[in-house]
Structure 1
Amino acid sequence: MKQRVPVSQIMTKVLIAVPTTKKLSEVNALFSDYNIRHIPVVDGDKLVGIISHNDILKIGFSHTGIDSEALNDIYDAYKLEDIMTKNPLVVTEDTIVKEVAELFAKQRFHSLPINDKNGNLVGIITTTDLINYLIAQY
């Protein structure tokens, strides 16, 4: 296995990010449209949070059996800022893959936003990215 591989080599670089003003129903649609589970939340160019598909599912869980329009109304009763994880842990693009794996193993989350050395959001890494990397090593 390669040693000291920076996360920039395996991170997702084409990002879907949303502003804090985005409706929760629209965010939910992005999860389906792009088959993703985590979306960084930005205020201008600054990362302010991250939202997962599970965060949204928790809201709708007690409302199973209702139509999608009614469920979207329920979602939109919340503000994105109320649901997202604020000030998420961030790694830099030169963080070593092993360090990211250790963070995932110790924490209860499955994605990390990635900043460049200037603090700009440049990617995201998920446990799926990490697993795919490990599979490619064999």
Structure 2
Amino acid sequence: MKVTKPVSKIMTRNVVTVDINADLSDACLLFLTHKIRHLPVVKDDSMVGLLSYNDVLRLSFGESYDDKSEIDDTVFKLLQVEQIMVTDPIKIHANCSIRKAAKIMINNKFHALPVIEKHKVVGMISTTDLLKYLITD
């Protein structure tokens, strides 16, 4: 059965990460440049947190001001990734079954999960990865 295979078969490899000391403007640039919505946060190559695009959107302060982008840029340069990242995200191992990963995502209303081995990020699995896999023969 397809869902008993490990997530390593369908996960996205070559994961874009962000350093724990980066500011939010750096993270936003990574989100936009790579067209991604989740960034594992690393310190010395070990995963220490997770930052989502939605986390950053919640910090958008300029709604009631004329020059919203200027306000957001200033705030995003003042804040570091470490200040808003999820510090103990749920993560899975590469040998985790696709079924188990899907259940974790459904039960927690997640759209992606980092895949780790020995504290290092080796992949990400997203709802898009799951759907692509399910529709293939």
User: Structures share a fold, TM > 0.5?
Assistant: yes
Structure 1 residues 90 and 9: alpha-carbon distance in aligned structure 2, compared to 1, 3 A threshold: same
Matches within 5 A, 1:1-12: 2-12=2-12
> In the aligned structure 1, how far is the partner of 2:3 from the partner of 2:47?
30
> Which structure 2 segments of 5+ residues have no match?
none
Q: Does 1:114 align with 2:115?
A: yes
Identity of aligned residues (%): 35
Counterpart Cα distance in 2 of 1:79 and 1:24: 6
- 2:127 and 2:28 map into 1 onto residues whose CA distance is 20
SS in 2 for 1:109: coil
1:6-21 superposed matches below 5 A: 6-21=6-21
TM-score, normalising length: structure 2: 0.90
Aligned to 1:46: 46
Runs of 4+ in 1 over 6 A off after TM superposition: none
How far residue 108 of structure 1 moved from its aligned partner, in angstroms, is 2.8
Cα deviation digits, residues 59-99 of structure 1 (max 9, x gap): 01x41352534321111222211111112111100000000
Spell out the pairing of 1:56-71 with structure 2 (5 A cutoff).
Answer: 56-60=56-60, 62-64=61-63, 65-71=66-72
**Change beyond 3 A, Cα 1:82–1:4:** same
Q: TM-score, normalised by structure 1?
A: 0.89
Contact 2:62 2:71 in 1 (8 A): no
* Letter of the 2:44 counterpart: G
Q: How many residues align?
A: 135
Q: Find the aligned partners of 2:3 and 2:99 in 1 and give their Cα distance.
A: 9
Letter in 2 for 1:104: M
Unaligned residue ranges in structure 1 (runs of 5+): none
The CA deviation at 1:29 is 1.1
